[in-house]
Structure formats: C-alpha cells, structure tokens
Amino acid sequence: MSGRVYQLQDLISREILDADAAQPAILAVIGCPVAHSASPAMHQPALDVRGMEGRYIRLEVPIGRVTEALQRLQQLGFVGANVTVPHKFAALDACHQVDDAAREIGAVNTVKFLHGETHGYNTDGPGFAQAIAEEFGTGLSGLRVMIVGAGGGAGQAIATQCAREGAQRVILVNRTVEKIQSLRDRLARRFESTQFHALAIDDPQLPSVAKQCQLLVNTSSLGLKAGDASPIDPACFASHHWVYDTIYQPPRTTFLRLAEEAGAHVANGFSMLLHQGVLAFDHWYPGQAPLEVMRAGLRSVS
C-alpha cells in the first residue's frame, strides 16, 4: 500500500494522478496534514476484497481550498472521500446536499459524488455509538456522559449523537468554557429530553460531577504526544466508569492509564475509527463494507 501523499496539483489530470499506478484512484482522505491517516489501511483492503478496481489515496488540501479539492475529485470521476481535520466544517459548506446527522453536528467527514452533486454525511457520531456498544456492551440511551474537549469537531459529533440516542445527561467540558456554551445552548434547544451542562476543565466541581456520570470520553488532542498528561484530574475516575479515549495512537494514553488504575473499564479510539470507516464505505458502496477485513487492515498498522 502506497504511503504517498498527493497534492492538489496532482489532480490536474488522470495522467498525472495515476502515473505508474496499476489502478486508478477512486477514493481519498483529505486533510492537512494527512500523512498520518490510517484510513487507507482499512479502505484499500475493502476495495480489494470486493474486487473493485481502484486506489484509496491520501490528499493534502490547504485550508481554504476544500471546495476546489472536492470539485476536482468529482471531475476526475472519484466515488467519494473521507474528510479529516481541519476540513470537516468547510466540507459542510462545500456540499450540495447534507444528511440530518451532519447538519445537526455542523460538520461533514464523508462525501459521495452522485449525479454531479456532492452529498455530505457524518459517520463520527454513529461510529462512536457502535464503538461504545462493541467495547462496553451498552447503548447511549439513558446514560450520563462527560465529554472532555467538547469544543472540537469530534466532541460536537459525539455530544450530538448522545443526544440523538437519548442520553439522560451530557456534560460538556473544555479548556475554554465560552467555546462550548453555544453548543450546549444549541443542543438543549434541539434535544429537550437531555440535560446539558458546560464546565471548564479546571472547574473544582469536575471530579464530583464526573463521579455522577457513567461514561467519560476524551475528544481532546491531549494524549497524542508521548508524555502528555491526562486532560482531567485523576480524582475524576472511579471504578464504575466506562472510559473511552478517541485517540487510538498511542493505544494507552495517560487518560486511559489513570482510569484503569481507578478500576474503570477502558477502550481507545480504534473501534470508533473502524466503525466510522465502515459506515463511510457503506455510503459509497451500500451493503458492501467488509467489517472484519477493515478491522484486520487497521490492526496491521496500529
């Protein structure tokens, strides 16, 4: 599998894009940066096992040029693309049609080109729900959930999914509380049966509020680098918790290690990455996503 990262100038023509390649590029992940993306490891084997002649590529797209990139992909006959940070919000505006989940979240992470139009979806939220079911054997309905780093795209997607599935309470936690107050207000208006609260990450009430929750989720980037501290104090963790970190590399962050030491059940973001990818593939090729093939592909690089 090629580790090459393509640039916008490679989308000028098929001759340039597919030079020296045995198969044409038909799917892509766009981001900035994008070299680290594990998406090709699950989507290329899926294409191969289904006998679909094509490549899944990484495409580096500068900020402000998402619409241009999607237009070029469509003109070259691509089936669709995944969208990763920092382009998920811009991708929403670049789409002709957007499904309800993506509209509520305010971000698109999957696009499909169909009949000359760009259709946008968000599989982060549903992928998270499936990950929690797989890891902890529970749905989100009725749960009390704390989301750390809720101001980012993943945090908003997960908060919205929790509300869509009937969570009892969602605690939004962020370094800057002002950044999540508008999200809290918007979700509270849309989902009246779920209680929403916004707390700063250094709020002294955080440990006691965390103890009242059942599921704690880290959606911040703290933990990506070796030696990163946990985004929340060790006093927040308890043995009754399910604790999920959306980071999958490294597989055991300080956040998860501290939770484990407190006796909590823990899991990393591998399962969310997998399930959101499976849902994306099903948008491109309905009913064709080979779950276990994609799982094995991700395992090979994790």
Q: Looking at residue 1, what is its pLDDT?
A: 52
Do 95 and 132 belong to one domain? Answer: no
Q: Looking at residue 87, what is its pLDDT?
A: 93
Do 35 and 98 belong to one domain? Answer: yes
Q: Looking at residue 2, what is its pLDDT?
A: 67
Domain ranges, residue 39:
5-122+272-299
Do 190 and 148 belong to one domain? Answer: yes
Do 108 and 22 belong to one domain? Answer: yes
Do 27 and 84 belong to one domain? Answer: yes
Do 14 and 118 belong to one domain? Answer: yes
CA–CA gap between residue 48 and residue 101 (Å, rounded): 29
Do 177 and 73 belong to one domain? Answer: no
CATH number of the domain within which 234 lies: 3.40.50.720
Do 132 and 250 belong to one domain? Answer: yes
CA–CA gap between residue 242 and residue 135 (Å, rounded): 9
Q: What is the pTM of this model?
A: 0.94
Residue written as token pair 């030491």 = 261
Show contacts of 291-300: CB within 8 Å, 24+ apart. Answer: 293/45, 293/46, 293/49, 294/42, 294/43, 294/45, 294/46, 295/42, 296/45, 297/41, 297/42, 297/43, 297/44, 297/45, 297/46, 298/38, 298/41, 298/42, 298/270, 298/273, 298/274, 300/41
Count the domains in the chain.
2
CATH number of the domain within which 40 lies: 3.40.50.10860
Which residues are part of the catalytic machinery?
Answer: 88
Query: Would you give per-residue pLDDT tens digits along the chain (302 residues)?
Result: 568 999 999 999 999 999 999 999 999 999 999 998 999 999 999 999 999 999 999 999 999 999 999 999 999 999 999 999 899 999 999 999 999 989 988 899 999 999 999 999 999 999 999 999 999 999 999 999 999 999 888 899 999 999 999 999 999 999 999 989 999 999 999 999 999 999 999 999 999 999 999 999 999 999 989 889 999 999 999 999 999 999 998 999 999 999 999 999 999 999 999 999 999 999 999 999 999 999 999 999 87
Do 55 and 156 belong to one domain? Answer: no
Do 236 and 261 belong to one domain? Answer: yes
